[in-house]
Amino acid sequence: MIADHSSGHSAQLGNLSIRSRVLVVDDEPLVLEGLIRLLTDRGYDAFPAQGGCDALIAIGKQQFDIVLLDLGMPDLNGSEVLRFIADRGVETPVIVVSGESSIDAAILALRAGACDFVRKPYEYEELLRRIDNTLTRSRLEKENNHILQRLQQSEKWHRFLVNNSPDFIYTLDPQGHFTFVNDRLESLTGFLRNELMGQHYSVLIDDDDISRAENVFNERRAGDRSTRNIELKLKCKSGVRRPRLMQGRNKTVELTATGMYENDKNPFERRFIGSYGVVKDISERKQAEETVHYQTYHDLLTGLPNRALFRNHLGLLLAQNKRSTQSLAVLSLDLDHFKIINDSLGHSLGDELLLAIGTRLRQCLREGDTLARLGGDEFAILLPALSERNDIEPIGRKIIHVLSEPVYLKGHEVYVSASIGACVAPEDSDTVDSLIRQAEIAMYHAKTQGRSRLQFWESGMQAPYSERMQTEADLRRALARNEFVLFYQPQVNIATGEITGFEALLRWWHPQRGLLTPRDFISIAEESGVIVPIGDWVLRQASAQMADWSKAGLPQVRLSVNISARQLENPNFVDSVMRAVQVYALNGQQMELEITESLLMRDLEANAIKLGRLSATGIRIAIDDFGTGYSSFKYLSRFPIHTLKIDQSFIQELEREENISIVNAMVSMGRGMKLNVVAEGVESQGQLDQLQQINCHEMQGYFYSAPVSSHEATYMLSQPFRGFGALPDSAIA
């Protein structure tokens, strides 16, 4: 029975069917009992309240889905119960079930908050139908309320998101007036919302960008075809107290805008109702881009334009001048003997000197002139709007004069001079590259003609410089083309005549010029920096050679490798040496690095650290060309040194009495420091005899053998013992 009727009186909640709870209020026990039974039979959870007071207690304690309320009750009548319910804000629907027959009673009850009125006596079915209707209506209302609340919540969320967006979001009416702006407006532009609402968008656009902005702000396309990421400058309100981050009078932003159309019309005749857009603040990104741009185009030491920017300026001016009769001049300026000053003062004072020179040069020039630092101690000057060639001379004189004044650097009085080369466009040339090159060639000529002077470019003035440039270009290609080879010169124990090691010496098989020795190219390689990859190659090649010898079962001898200044200064130096040793699984003691003493003294601290790391792995250090620098034994003791190589200039004049005593002193000091002493450039029996007498350990020189190919060195190593009897066939001067 119950099951048959229960469907309409229970709400479905997932699989759980919850029975509706009905409070029945009547002072007549019989009526009350009858109703409770009826409702229970029909699947409701029915609760009795015998009178108004009971009803209030029940409502105060529990939740009901519906109340059936009698009006006339002795303790508290139905109207008062209704008022209580209304006052408390209880939302349970109430059906008044009453014997009152007047229409007024019904109206009063409905006004007091009842949702239906059923007159006694009633048909059970009629009452049940009314109950069911009321419950259904109440459930629908609840659901609606819930949806509404969710909508309101979601709208709140959207408003929150829009207002707290890091981007400025707006809408415009079809004429371009602001109809909505989010909170970000103020922090971005300094404008308040009410200052902008209703205003035309143009009040916000930087004057330069107005016409570009027109297209974007009038954007009528929607969806994928909208305008995306257009860069614009916004005006910022001046005079108001701005947030800390807002500096400058405008902000660079990126704008995305889309047209808005009425939704429900035929897509072909949809009405344009305005546009909306998102404005992203990209000033920080712009600033980063500007920094990168600055670094790309400026010399970071002096802040002057670099070569790239100088070329840009020159290119622009050349293009402009094509349309006028004006000339321009390019000056190339190079400090004389800067390398010596830099080496003796140290790099940081050298940098300060360059800064000071930059400032002085700038003072000689006019506003529109460009002064650039092209690299090292080389500057370039661009003089636009020149009326005649003669105008250059006084400027050159002024520069030379200003630079001749001493520079004071931390207690040092430093004198510099500069050589200047000049050429004029369009007379001499009208392209960027050839102008710069001609000015540089003229500058080199100024240097060869006694320095500290101005030299104009003249046609035919090429030779000395271009061979050098050719060599540099060839050098860059030589590694890739495998044109380098190593020669090996043996080092021999003076007492026994045994080969103790080899020095690896670089040779270049130049495709046109034949076999070149370092004298022909090493300084260019050094100055251009190509020496660094070449030096790496030498390290690897020498290591590979030692690995080959060891595989062939030949005696394990030392291999010495020459290290250049640029290599040693390179931050990767230590790693690249260690890598070479590791890749070929060498014993560190087999590798010796030859470093000249003047190079070692250049940066005492850094070199001591680097060499310390290397010698910790067993790698040996030799002081090359010892005696030619200005180092003292005191400094040398700070480095982990194993070998002292006495410079050949002392050995070759060993016949002179004073040299004998100098070499003697060097050998005994070296012995005192427990170093292996090697005499370089030994060419004769007489020199060897002297060295034997003063107990020098080892010798290297043409007397025993000139540097030889890898093939010949391998052959030498494989010979058991050769003594000093005769020169090997391979020995060539």
For the CB of residue 580, give the shortest distance to ligand C2E in the complex, in Å: 13
Q: Is the dihedral of CA 390, 391, 394, 400 positive or negative?
A: negative
| Residue 100, contacted partner among Ca ion, ligand C2E, none, CB below 5-8 A by kind | none
Q: Which does 538 bind (CB under 5 to 8 A by kind): Ca ion, ligand C2E, none?
A: ligand C2E
CB of 434 to ligand C2E, least distance (A): 34
**35: which residues sit within 8 A by CB, 6+ positions away?**
24, 26, 46, 68
For the record, the structure tokens of 661 come out as: 């005593």
Alpha carbon distance 52, 381 (integer Å)? 106
475 lies in the site for ligand C2E, by CB under 6 A: no
Give the one residue of 594, 675, 679, 700 binding Ca ion; rule: CB under 5 A.
Answer: 594
Indicate which single residue of 93, 259, 358, 701 sits in contact with ligand C2E (rule: CB under 6 A).
701
* Stretch 665-694 residues interacting with Ca ion (CB under 5 A): 680
Does residue 514 bind ligand C2E (CB under 6 A)?
A: no
Instruction: Please report where in the chains the tokens 């002072």 appear, as a residue.
Output: 27
Nearer to ligand C2E, 396 or 701 (CB): 701
585 dihedral zone (left: phi>0; alpha: psi -120 to 50; beta): left
Task: Identify which range of 51-59, 209-217, 658-666, 675-683 contacts ligand C2E by CB under 6 A.
Answer: 675-683
* Residue/partner pairs of 109-118 with CB below 8 Å, 24 or more apart: 109/71, 109/78, 109/79, 109/82, 112/79, 112/82, 112/83, 112/86, 113/82, 113/83, 113/85, 113/86, 114/69, 114/82
Pick the stretch among 39-47, 480-488, 559-567, 694-702 that binds Ca ion (CB under 5 A): 559-567
Of the listed pieces 83-91, 427-435, 592-600, 691-699, which binds Ca ion according to CB under 5 A? Answer: 592-600
Q: List the interface residues with Ca ion, window 312-351 (CB under 5 A).
A: none
Q: Is 690 in the site for ligand C2E (CB under 6 A)?
A: no
What does the angle CA 623 – CA 624 – CA 627 come to, to the nearest 5 degrees?
Answer: 90
Q: Is residue 93 a contact residue for ligand C2E (CB under 6 A)?
A: no
Distance of CA 223 to the CA centre of its chain: 34
Tokens in use for 8?
């309409």
Q: What's the CA gap between 269 and 286, in Å, rounded?
A: 42
Per rule CB under 6 A, is residue 506 in the interface with ligand C2E? Answer: yes
Q: Can residue 186 be called a binding residue for ligand C2E (CB under 6 A)?
A: no
Q: Which of the listed partners (ligand C2E, Ca ion, none) does 683 bind, with a CB threshold of 5 to 8 Å by partner kind?
A: ligand C2E
Task: Report the nearest approach of ligand C2E to the CB of residue 243 (Å).
Answer: 58
The yes or no reply on residue 501 touching ligand C2E (CB under 6 A) is: no
Q: Which range touches Ca ion (CB under 5 A), out of 191-199, 371-379, 617-625, 721-729?
A: 617-625
Q: Is 719 helix (H, G, I), strand (E, B) or coil?
A: coil
Q: Which residues contact 531 (CB under 8 A, 6 or more apart)?
A: 522, 525, 564, 566, 567
Measured CA to CA, the distance from residue 106 to residue 494 in angstroms comes to 135
Q: Does 705 bind ligand C2E (CB under 6 A)?
A: no
Alpha-carbon separation of residue 191 from 218, 318, 484, 509 (angstroms): 21, 45, 70, 73
**Is residue 562 at the binding interface for Ca ion, with CB under 5 A as the rule?**
yes
Residues 546-605, interacting with ligand C2E (CB under 6 A): 562, 564, 594
Give 650's contacts (C-beta < 8 A, 6+ positions apart): 627, 659, 662, 663, 666
625 binds Ca ion, rule: CB under 5 A: yes
If one asks whether residue 100 binds Ca ion (CB under 5 A), the answer comes out as no
Nearer to Ca ion, 116 or 503 (CB): 503
Task: Give residues in contact with ligand C2E (CB under 6 A).
Answer: 489, 505-506, 517-519, 522, 535, 538, 562, 564, 594, 624-625, 648, 681-683, 701-702, 707
